[in-house]
Structure 1
Amino acid sequence: MALVTLSGAHLHTQVLEVERPTAMAASHSPSSFMSDSPAIAEAKQALRARCLSVLKTRPAGVDAVLCARLAERLLATDHAHIACVWPLPHELDLRPLCHQLNAAGRHVLLPETPPRGQPLTFRLWTPQTALLRGRFGTQVPDGPLIRPDLVLVPLLAFDRTGNRLGYGGGYYDRTLATLPGIASMGYALAAQEVEQLPTGPYDQPLSSLVTEQESLHFD
C-alpha cells in the first residue's frame, strides 16, 4: 500500500506494498484504460483513498481563497477559452471562479465525460445555460462544443515535478494527450502535495499548478 503521512501542510507518501483498490475511483469514473503496471496501479489506488480524505476534511473558506488565486492567475493571461470544472460534492468548488471569468469576458467551458476510452469534450457555459445530467453525477452545459486553450485540471495529489494523481479514469491524461501544447493548470490544496507520485507511461504532466498558498510552474 502507499503510506501517507502529514508533515507540515503536506502529504508525504512512501510506497510499501499494494492493497486492493477501493470503490472510490469507480464511483467517479471507470477504471483506467491505460496500461500502468499492476504495482503502480495499486499504489495509485491506495493513495487515492487517503488523499480524498484531505478534500473531505478541508477547512471552511479555503475554496474561496483558491478561487481568488486562480482568478488572479487566469485573468493575467490572454486565454479566452478556459475549461473549468463543475464540482462533485467532495471536490473544490470552482463555481465562483466560473462566474468571475464569465463576468470578465472569458469563455468558460465545462467538460462532458464520454464513454470509456474517449477524451473529454468541452461545452460553453454561461450563468444562463441549462445544465444537463452527465456521466458519474457530473453537470454538462447545454452549449456548443468549443476547444479550450487552457484546461484547469482537478486532482487528488501532486508533486513538485508536475505530476498529478487523478481519479483513475484517465480522462484528463487522455484529453491532454490529444491537445498537444495546450496549457494545463492543476488546482489543489497545499495539503494535497506528496513527495513523489507513482507514475505510468501515459500520465500527462501539468504546465502549472495553483494552491491556496502558492503557484508552481513546471518545465
Structure 2
Amino acid sequence: DAAAVINDKKVTDHHAVIPTRNIREADLSALPVGERTILELVALRLLCAVAPPYIYDETSVTVDCTGAEFTAKGRTVKQPGWRALDAACRSSMKNAEPDKEAEDKALPELTEGQELPVTGAAVKEGKTTPPKHFTEDTLLSAMETAGAKDMPEDAERKGLGTPATRAGILEKLVSTGFLERKKSKKTVQLLPSHDAISLITVLPEQLQSPLLTAEWEYRLGEIERGELAPEDFMAEIT
C-alpha cells in the first residue's frame, strides 16, 4: 500500500521521485541502459518501501579482560523482508551497486557474568587516515543533518537549506569562487578556494557554525508555517 509511505500533507518543496502508471505500458528495452537502470532503481525503492519489514535479533556483548573492555555485536535474521527483494532485483541489474550493509555474524547464547576463555590475542599495526574531501553527494548529506550531534532527535529537520535548494547553494558557492571542483580518480571533490579560507579566517566562530545556520533555517520554517512572528526571530538574533 503506497499510502503507507506517501503523505501529501508532509510534502514541502517537492515530492519524492516515484514511477507513474505509464511504466506498465512502456517498452523499457527501448531506453538507453543508463536511463533504464535509473528507472529500475526508482521502482525498486518504491517496492522496498511497501514490502514487509526486515526483522532481526541483535545481540551486543561487553567483555572485560584484565580491566580492558571489548565489545561484539551479532545479528540473526528472523525475516529478510524488503532486503530480500532488494538483493534479488539488484543482482539482475547491470551496473547496480550491491547492498553494502554487511551482515553481523550471530553470537552464541551468553549470560551476564559468564566467564569465557581467551583463545588468542594479536597486535595489529595500523594508522588513521584523514577525513576524505567532500563530494557533492557527501556534502549534500552533511547539509541535511548539519549540527545533528548538538541537537535533539529531530535535528534532521534543522539542516542547511531544503531538499530543493541545497544543490543550488553549492552551485552558487562554485560560481562565486568560494568552492572549486577538483577531479580525483573517478570522483569530483569540492575544495574551498583561497577566498573561502580567507573569509573563514576572519569570521567570528559563532557565525561559522553550521549549528547556528541550521537553527536559523528551522526558525525561518516556523515563520513560514505561522508558528513564529518575524519580529520575535529578529529579537533573538540582535
TM over 0.5: no
What's the TM-score, normalizing by structure 1? 0.22
Query: Whose helix proportion is higher, 1 or 2?
Result: 2
Between 1 and 2, higher relative CO (CA 8 Å, sep ≥ 6) is seen in 1
Query: Whose strand proportion is higher, 1 or 2?
Result: 1
What's the TM-score, normalizing by structure 2? 0.21
Whose radius of gyration is greater, 1 or 2? 2
